[in-house]
Structure 1
Amino acid sequence: MTTASWNGTVVAESDDIVTVEGNAYFPRDAVRADVLRPSDAQTVCHWKGTASYYDLEVDGQVNAAAAWYYPEPEDAAKEIAGRVAFWKGVEIR
């Protein structure tokens, strides 16, 4: 079981992980909805497409744009459709 934890709280866990460029992508339904807050942040990857972000909120603390996903990934990255990855101090085990 792979877990993602931040601020002492498990925010995602799954046995179904896709790893791309060293990042673990969790199925969206494996991520706790109660800790995700929509973010206006976006970035563009030349081969994956446009990433959208979530802020994480745990125990009143916010980790801005700490989770990302590709709503419409390019064909080369279709395997991460419907998945979420983390950074900014989120621990993956």
Structure 2
Amino acid sequence: MYQAIWNDVVLAESEETIRVEGNHYFPPTSLISVHFSKASLTSQCAWKGTAQYYTLSVDGQKNANAAWYYPDPTSAAENIRNYVAFSNGVRVVAVQENGEPRVNPFVALCRRVMTRR
């Protein structure tokens, strides 16, 4: 399970993200829509097509153009049609079923070893 978080608020949550070029793309049904408003910005990707953007709103604060999606992707990117990715300070984190962040076992081991010294 992955969550997209900004200002300590979950914006999207899904077990079915698609990873492309280091970004997790969330299904449109996983978005908490109250935090999203369409922005006027577009950008062009040679292999994915034209991206449209969202501005995020949380507790009166705005994060312009912090999420994007491809409403009409090229055939090479059809699998991410309307899926949403994030930037501009939005953290995408892996979480366990109990909602706790997933910890990399190696990092946890290193922390234990370091605290013993």
TM-score bucket (shorter structure)? over 0.9
Residues paired across the two proteins, number = 93
Deviation digits for residues 44-93 of structure 1, max 9, x if unmatched?
A: 00000000000000000000000000010000001101200000000000
Quick one: distance in 2 between partners of 1:7 and 1:86?
A: 14
> What does 1:1-93 correspond to in 2, within 5 Å?
1-93=1-93
For the aligned residue pairs, the C-alpha RMSD in angstroms reads 0.5
Normalising to structure 2: TM-score of the pair?
A: 0.78
Structure number having the greater helix percentage: 2
Q: Which structure has the bigger radius of gyration?
A: 2
- Percent of counterpart pairs with the same letter? 48
| Higher RCO (CA < 8 A, seq sep 6+) | 1
Q: Structure 1 residue runs of 4+, over 2 Å off? A: none
Relative to the length of structure 1, the TM-score reads 0.98
Instruction: Please state whether the residue corresponding to 1:71 is helix, strand or coil.
Output: coil
